[in-house]
Amino acid sequence: MSSSLAGFRNLATKIVCVGRNYKDHALELGNAIPKKPMLFVKTVNSFIVEGEPIVAPPGCQNLHQEVELGVVIGKRASKITKSNAMDYIGGYTVALDMTARDFQDEAKKAGAPWFMAKSFDGSCPIGGFLEASAIPDPHDVELYCKINGKDQQRCRTNVMIFDIPTLLEYTTQFFTLEVGDVVLTGTPAGVTRINPGDVIEFGLTDKLESKFFVK
Q: What is the DSSP letter of 110?
A: H
| pLDDT values of the chain reduced to their tens digit, one per residue, 215 residues | 555 899 999 999 999 999 999 988 878 888 888 999 999 999 999 999 999 999 999 999 999 999 999 999 999 999 999 999 999 999 999 999 999 999 999 999 999 999 999 999 999 999 999 999 999 999 999 999 999 999 999 999 999 999 999 999 999 999 999 999 999 999 999 999 999 999 999 999 999 999 999 99
Do 213 and 149 form a contact (C-beta atoms < 8 A)?
no
Q: Kindly report the pTM of this predicted structure.
A: 0.96
Cα-flanking dihedrals φ and ψ of residue 87, to 5°? -70, -15
Chain segment 115-148, per-residue pLDDT in tens: 999 999 999 999 999 999 999 999 999 999 999 9
Amino acid at the residue 75: K
The superfamily CATH assigns to domain 4-213 is Fumarylacetoacetase-like, C-terminal domain (3.90.850.10)
